Amino acid sequence: MSLILDLASDVLGLILPRRCAGCDNALYRNEKDLCGMCLEDLPRARMLADPQNPVAQLFWGRVPLEGAGALLRFNRGGKVQRMLHRLKYKGDRHVGLGLGRLMGEEASQSPCYADVDTVMAVPLHRRKERMRGYNQAQVIADGLRETWPLKPAGRELMRVLHTSTQTKRSRIDRWLNVQEAFTVGKSSQLENAHVLLVDDVVTTGATLESCARALLQVPGVKVSVLTAAYA
Ligand SMILES: [Zn+2]
């Protein structure tokens, strides 16, 4: 089956060259979703080994987390923004899987994430997930498990209020908007787990904070967070 898929992708590649998610140049056959140049030159945040990194500091005094960090720095108009745009709005899951694999490689080596055992994506509201066809954070989490074999969480965490698109809202509006928007369903599966919450990007941290608060209602749960980018 995979031979057939490989052949199919080679044939497709002859007609329609695959494009690099960072610079849009045509990819060579051995390149996955980023060309060698872009992969080499990703704006790595290199913060995962530092417990006092800027993403961890974002949550200080808000919610107790074990570890927190991001793989890349988000630069407006740059490569990382293009990659996340392709993942969220162009249906390109390969970008998310690739980012997840890089996140798994780096985080699994970090002492800050030493005893994580379960990975969970920040949920989208079901309606939004149906519209997009997938949850981009789940795609990243799936990629992460390819390089860091953590147990996948089920759908224990649910988004209970529909939150409209947040990009044009002020920080305080966003915070009010996602408050109490998550709840934990069948929690027994999560008891005493150390959950790694995964999302595409962290800006104010409001969404991750709400998720973590809901998860911390479960007895014995510890929470760490990891995102592809930090804005
Ligand atoms: Zn490129």
Per-residue pLDDT, 17 = 77
Q: What one-character DSSP code corresponds to residue 164?
A: P
How many angstroms does the Cα of residue 23 sit away from the middle of ligand 1?
4
Per-residue pLDDT, 177 = 55
Q: How far apart are CA 2 and CA 157, in angstroms?
A: 33
How many angstroms does the Cα of residue 13 sit away from the middle of ligand 1?
16
Kindly list the averaged pLDDT for each block of 10 residues, start to end, along the chain of length 231. 60 69 87 86 94 97 97 92 92 92 96 95 88 94 97 87 56 57 82 97 94 94 97 93
Per-residue pLDDT, 14 = 58
Per-residue pLDDT, 165 = 54
Domain ranges of the chain: 1-41, 42-230
Per-residue pLDDT, 164 = 54
Q: How far apart are CA 222 and CA 204, in angstroms?
A: 21
How many angstroms does the Cα of residue 111 sit away from the middle of ligand 1?
31
Per-residue pLDDT, 24 = 85
For 55, other C-beta atoms within 10 Å of its C-beta total 22
- Protein residues within 5 Å, CB atom, of ion ligand 1: 20, 22-23, 35, 38
Per-residue pLDDT, 15 = 62
CATH code linked to domain 42-230: 3.40.50.2020
